[in-house]
Amino acid sequence: MIPDLSPSDKAKLAAAKQASLAIETGMRVGLGTGSTAAWLVKCLAARVREEGLAIKCVPTSTQTAELARGLGLDVITLDQAGTLDVTIDGADEFDAHLNLIKGGGAALLQEKIVATASAQMIVIADSDKEVATLGAFALPIEVIPFGLESTRKQVEEMLLAMEVEGRETSLRMKETAPLVTDEGNHILDLHLKRIGNAPQLAMTLNQIPGVVENGLFIDICDRVIIGSGDGKVETRDINAGTIETDQVDFANAENLFGDPAP
């Protein structure tokens, strides 16, 4: 029997289950990081167990890799895969043009590398992630530890010339020490409130020495699947210009909590 889930988790599950139906045998699939992406991993693992779906998966973090392996998915590296058919991931924010802010789970570097190596990117989210203008969620940037404060100062000076409403920055911590990413870097969170020109900001940030990558995903996402707690899903395709609605059945959702494949 399916455990009691919050409306938010049901919305994430609905989006993830709908997205999992786009995966076919033989595909090479990028797996995102975060709570919504974790539902996707569980949905794919259930299809592997029950339908014999044969896929190869490239995770975007150590966390996702461990979950995928534990559920019996065939995990390979991006170098082994070469290119991917699709990446499915969550987002912290998305706008009407399907531009994103990502990096709340501190995996933005690997997420962007995997997404751009894919023929298409599908984002799964609940409706709370949709915004008129990006920026309410803090924008993460991954920076190398060497010269951290110098890099931070350059970022803050650069923001003076950008179309943003806030310019506060903070170093992301894990307990009492700076958080360390899978690549051995740190995360600076930029509290911008509103980003007027996201493409310009993304390009300018990456020109600062010490900045490895930023959490703005511009013109990368092809489709967003928005889930609701009642199982309704809306799929928006930016390339086709279409909006489709569907209803996800939670009746067999208990199979997501079964034993992992051997």
240 in a labelled binding site? no
Spatial distance between the Cα atoms of 26 and 81, rounded to a whole number of angstroms: 12
103 in a labelled binding site? yes
Which residues are 185's β-sheet partners? none
232 in a labelled binding site? no
Spatial distance between the Cα atoms of 119 and 169, rounded to a whole number of angstroms: 34
Beta strands in the chain (DSSP E): 28-31, 56-59, 86-89, 93-94, 100-101, 121-126, 139-143, 168-171, 173-174, 177-178, 186-191, 211-214, 216-217, 223-227, 232-237, 242-247
Spatial distance between the Cα atoms of 217 and 202, rounded to a whole number of angstroms: 8
104 in a labelled binding site? yes
- Which CA distances in Å does 128 have to 60, 86, 124, 140? 23, 24, 12, 19
241 in a labelled binding site? no
Q: Is 24 a catalytic residue?
A: no
33 in a labelled binding site? yes
Question: How many Cα atoms within 13 Å fall on the side-chain side of residue 251?
Answer: 2
Q: Which of 51, 66, 93, 111 is catalytic?
A: 111
102 in a labelled binding site? yes
79 in a labelled binding site? no
135 in a labelled binding site? no
SS3 37: helix
35 in a labelled binding site? yes
Q: Which residues are tagged catalytic?
A: 111
Q: Which residues are annotated as a binding site?
A: 33-36, 89-92, 102-105, 129
Q: Which residues are annotated as a binding site for substrate?
A: 33-36, 89-92, 102-105, 129
